[in-house]
């Protein structure tokens, strides 16, 4: 069975919910291999718990997939992530040669794909994946809004 983008994004959203329950910003990511039709890894955002500013869900997914396939080049693999990747993650995606990026919610403040530096449009970008935006965007946006609303309540 070939899963749909929505089905795979729902799995990434499950990982995002786990991140939120752990006190991390609720972002989840997964790497999918369309040739085998298998999810290689599913991860949650973890900069706070790991004390690592680079532990964004996308970076953790790329690291795990590289270990699984035994190569840092992930050319034929797809990355699903619940929020538009930032410039750092877009750079990692380019260097890993991810074939396709599918993300849920746009990030006008911190995104690096359709917003900000628009990393994949830069002449210095080595690899440009196919990008699909907006898959289950409302679900991701609502999860993020609820997380930050709850955070603001606990600080007052």
Over range 77-85, report the average pLDDT.
98
Whole-structure pTM over 0.85, yes or no? Answer: yes
Alpha-carbon distance of 146 to 92, in angstroms, equals 29
Distances (CA, A) of 48 to 22, 81, 108: 9, 18, 22
Over range 136-146, report the average pLDDT.
96
- 51 annotated as a binding-site residue: no
- 89 annotated as a binding-site residue: yes
Distances (CA, A) of 16 to 3, 118, 122: 19, 24, 29
The predicted-structure confidence for 26-78, as pLDDT tens digits, reads as follows 999 999 999 999 999 999 999 999 999 999 999 999 999 999 999 999 999 99
E strands, the chain, in order: 28-33, 38-44, 78-83, 100-105, 130-133
The answer to whether residue 24 is catalytic is no
Q: Which of 33, 20, 35 is nearest to 68 (CA)?
A: 33
- The catalytic residue among 58, 84, 114, 121 is 58
Alpha-carbon distance of 21 to 17, in angstroms, equals 6
């Amino acid at each position: 069975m070939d899963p749909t983008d929505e089905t795979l994004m729902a799995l990434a959203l499950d990982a995002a919910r786990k991140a939120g329950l752990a006190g991390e910003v609720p972002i989840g990511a997964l790497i999918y291999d369309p040739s085998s039709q298998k999810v290689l890894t599913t991860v949650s955002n973890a900069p706070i718990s790991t004390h690592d500013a680079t532990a964004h869900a996308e970076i953790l997914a790329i690291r795990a997939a590289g270990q699984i396939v035994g190569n840092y080049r992930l050319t034929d693999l797809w990355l699903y992530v619940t929020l538009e990747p930032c410039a750092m993650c877009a750079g990692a995606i380019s260097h890993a040669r991810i074939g396709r990026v599918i993300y849920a919610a746009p990030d006008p403040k911190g995104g690096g794909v359709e917003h900000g530096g628009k990393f994949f449009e830069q002449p210095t970008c080595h690899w440009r994946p196919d990008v699909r935006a907006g898959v289950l965007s409302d679900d991701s946006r609502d999860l993020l809004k609820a997380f930050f609303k709850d955070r603001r309540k606990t600080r007052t």
